[in-house]
Amino acid sequence: MTPNPVSSTPVLRTTLLWSAAVTAILAVIGAVAGYAAGGVEGLWSALVGVGLAFAFLGITGGSILIANRWYGDALYVPIFFGIVLGGWILKFVVFIIVLLVLRGQEWLNPTVFFVSLVVGIIASLIIDVIVLMRSRVPHASDVTLPTAEEVGEGPDDAPGRL
């Protein structure tokens, strides 16, 4: 593993930080709105929905940040895709398990839970778009072009020169 940062690392860190801040705000707003709509059950439903949205969307960004630590290694690409795909599979399995566990719970207001989950996901996607639009990452990042000497062209080999 090399300490060289990948150009997407600062973008992902910013996205996760903004998402955490917006999740805290949504948790407060969701708790108040959930309590107003469904009492204590609504409050807990909203908090669980917003928390799940942050956790599951954070797994993707976190797994990419973890995988980027192997940048520069000969096995970087398989390690990267293995970690990210493993995170997605973990997220999918945990999401199914959580939904099966929460299904039919008396303390859960399904409408408040669904709305808070969707609002959390939409807020995270909006943050992703804003952060990516403001970032200045070139289209071909983390690429080093070979020099003329490495290609075998010296100053005497320049085209048009005799």
- Return d(Cα 32, Cα 41) in angstroms, integer: 12
- Return d(Cα 59, Cα 30) in angstroms, integer: 22
pLDDT at 59: 87
For the chain, the structural domain boundaries read: 9-135
Q: Profile the chain (162 residues) by mean pLDDT over runs of 10 residues.
A: 65 88 94 93 94 88 88 88 92 90 90 93 87 71 72 62 54
pLDDT at 129: 84
Contacts of 16 (CB under 8 A, 6+ apart): 58, 61, 62, 65
